[in-house]
Structure 1
């Protein structure tokens, strides 16, 4: 993948900043994001054990469970720079200003997702997910991440009872790839 990005850079399809950003994103996403997203999924299921049991009984809901985890508790904060001056509700945001977008807040906005504070793995994918970015900045590893999460969640649910948090959770900073640093966890017996 990195070789292809370098080829695109040499051919002028990517500038140096885009190339650097994509390589860093690939390295971080390939290592940190999936483990933090799985931890966030286990936290969500620990508060909703009936959803865990539903996944256990219906492993075909694995992909929908991943969509719901990504909507309900995404790991990433999206950051961009404004391409031009932006006026929003009387506020000027000059071109080049770093802007941090919260996918978490957007996914729970009642205008975008009615009943967004409810965790429901049977929910259809009715609203677009921002967890993997969008457009030219869509995560190239999204399909792999979805597959890894679906496999992990269905395998765990098939073998173990619902997760339970057993102690204090420590958290990474809320900017960039967020999630727990430590997650003391056990699983209810079946």
Structure 2
């Protein structure tokens, strides 16, 4: 039998934390989808699923796959870091760590609080917050879009919804960022304990918030979550706190990343930006195509409950599985010309950037609302927005998330 010596094993090349991969992971996954759609990664000690069909099969199969939130990087944590994280009062209680049927109870309660209809009523508030940031930016003429808008904007929205003191916004954002870096990133050992303490501080903060709202309900998301619990199978204080921590993490990090990616794409091709400026009604389609092509959540983790075959590959019982959402979204079998940006697709290509099935992102409606309003306001009030020339856009070391860490922009006053 003749052996194809030109065929390489993607698993031996896959290094999600390398600078080259972070800058552009898509070429690697395009090749992997054709050569080895399911492969084993020695670096992660996990099986990697790259095609849309197999990704959906894993995500909807709760009988044979369980959620595995951050197991892929836990082995990189120092003993001191693990000891600090072990003091968590709410670990394991958030939706992202639950499987049906317990997950179903939590989602039912949270869905009453963050329904699409309810989110739509927040538009005026979100618009005011966006305008406030742009008012501060306009006289400057230039800025880092990430630090000046993409990062503070979702923070203002979440802080407003939770009715937090504005003085707390910076530290809540810092704690959330510390947690995200520790859970998803490659962090030097000497930096891990401080991040772990930040993560723990966030947990105690939201736990205290829930306890105070239980004593005196207000007009905020935390109080609504408590009210929505009702008397039957109500969330405990710990469960409500874990849910709020999840909403804060998601609200800060994912929206920040996708805002940066979207503005980078639009400004990189002046025709796209000018189309948004002159036809703001097309912004929802622009958002969906950007979510498909460069969504902030690049992957999600599962653990096999038994030996199972995926894409013709046998995955052992107990094995960790990384489902590559970003690769599945570009799969040519699911989306013709999937590597190409085209917001005029008819019909619009369905994507997995908010997950699939029971773990579909509960905050998707809010994220879409924030993104639409941000782009509408930027296009209307900063139509001359453009990229600062000769810059390199950095990307952070994250296993599950991706987006610009800095994006320098300019505009005419």
- Contact 2:295–2:353 at 8 Å: present in 1 too? yes
Query: More displaced, 71-80 or 55-64?
Result: 71-80
- The equivalent of 2:270 in structure 1 is 49
Q: Structure 1 residues 60, 49: closer, same or farther in 2, change over 3 A?
A: same
Partner residue of 1:72 out of 288, 293, 313: 293
* d(CA) in 2 for partners of 1:111, 1:170: 31
Return the offset for 1:12: 8.0
TM-align CA RMSD = 3.0
Q: 2:64 corresponds to which residue?
A: none
| Secondary structure, aligned partner of 1:173 | coil
Counterpart in 2 of 1:161?
Answer: 384
Q: Distance in 1 between matches of 2:386 and 2:325?
A: 25
Equivalent residue, structure 1, for 2:313: 90
Q: Deviations over 1:34-57 (max 9, x none)?
A: 111100001111222211111111
Matched with 1:181 is 405
Asked whether the 8 Å contact 2:300–2:325 carries over to 1, the reply is no
> 1:174 Cα deviation (Å)?
3.7
Give the stretch that moved more between structures: 139-148 or 165-174: 165-174
Q: Contact (CA 8 Å) 1:40, 1:180: kept in 2 or not?
A: yes
For normalisation by structure 1, the TM-score amounts to 0.80
Asked if the contact 1:46/1:165 (under 8 Å) is kept, the reply is no
CA distance in 1, matches of 2:406, 2:347: 30
Which runs of 5 or more structure 2 residues have no equivalent in the other structure? Answer: 1-220
1:97-123 residue CA offsets vs partner (Å, 9 max, x unmatched): 332222221111111111122222222
Choose which of 357, 365, 370 in structure 2 pairs with 1:143: 365
Gaps of 5+ in 1: none
Q: Decide which structure has greater helix share.
A: 2
Large movers: runs of 4+ above 6 Å: none
Which has the larger displacement, 166-175 or 31-40?
A: 166-175
SS at the partner of 2:405?
strand
* Cross-structure match for 1:152: 374
Alignment size in residue pairs: 184
| Equivalent residue for 1:130, pick from 327, 347, 352 | 352
- Helix, strand or coil for the counterpart of 2:336? coil
